[in-house]
């Protein structure tokens, strides 16, 4: 079991202990409520089970298998289907950039790819990068690496986010040596 899977399982175990309900009982509660919108179900779980926002939000995703990881785990979606969903419609043009990054990363060594709803989390012992569609028709690469200096291209992200830096790419040509050096630093630092 990966560290991400362990963390997720620990959170689910803690939620069950806090609420006094099993995951199956939560699914029944959600089903009987007749609610379908994520925000309404989250509020229901907060009100009925006394859960905080984060726990209730995670529980809705798990119960409905609505994030990429849950959907893939329950067999609703294969990893390829998750990718196809991420890069559908107007975002399809970003897939070649994604593929070029993944081929380059494959040369670094082993790592885990964890599908999420709108991106892929790339992990070793901890997340070192995330890759997925960003805004304005660009691919977003998030990096977790120490000792990098932000720049116009390597944008520093305020503390508390999922990544320390972001790089936006509009073309496969932008998967260059500079980007790969930053990815390598993040990869090496996540062991």
11 vs 134: CA distance, rounded Å: 28
60-89 pLDDT, tens per residue? 777 766 554 554 454 455 667 778 888 888
pLDDT in tens, 125-166: 888 999 999 888 899 999 999 889 999 999 998 877 778 999
> What is the rounded distance in angstroms from the CA atom of residue 170 to the CA atom of residue 140?
9
pLDDT in the model for residue 51: 84
pTM of the model as a whole? 0.63
């Amino acid at each position: 079991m990966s560290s991400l899977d362990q963390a997720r399982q620990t959170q689910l175990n803690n939620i069950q202990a806090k609420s006094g309900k099993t995951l199956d009982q939560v699914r029944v509660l959600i089903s009987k409520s007749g609610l379908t919108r994520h925000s309404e179900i989250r509020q229901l779980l907060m009100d009925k089970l006394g859960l905080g926002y984060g726990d209730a939000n995670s529980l809705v995703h798990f119960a409905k298998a609505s994030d990429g990881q849950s959907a893939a785990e329950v067999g609703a979606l294969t990893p390829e289907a998750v990718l196809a969903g991420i890069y559908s419609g107007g975002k399809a043009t970003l897939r070649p950039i994604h593929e070029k990054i993944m081929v380059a990363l494959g040369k670094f060594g082993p790592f885990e790819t964890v599908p999420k709803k709108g991106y892929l989390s790339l992990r070793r012992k901890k997340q070192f990068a995330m890759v997925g569609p960003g805004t304005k028709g660009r691919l977003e690469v998030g990096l977790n690496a120490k000792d990098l200096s932000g720049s116009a291209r390597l944008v520093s992200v305020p503390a508390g986010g999922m990544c320390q830096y972001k790089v936006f790419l509009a073309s496969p040509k932008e998967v260059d040596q500079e980007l790969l050096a930053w990815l390598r630093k993040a990869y090496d630092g996540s062991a």
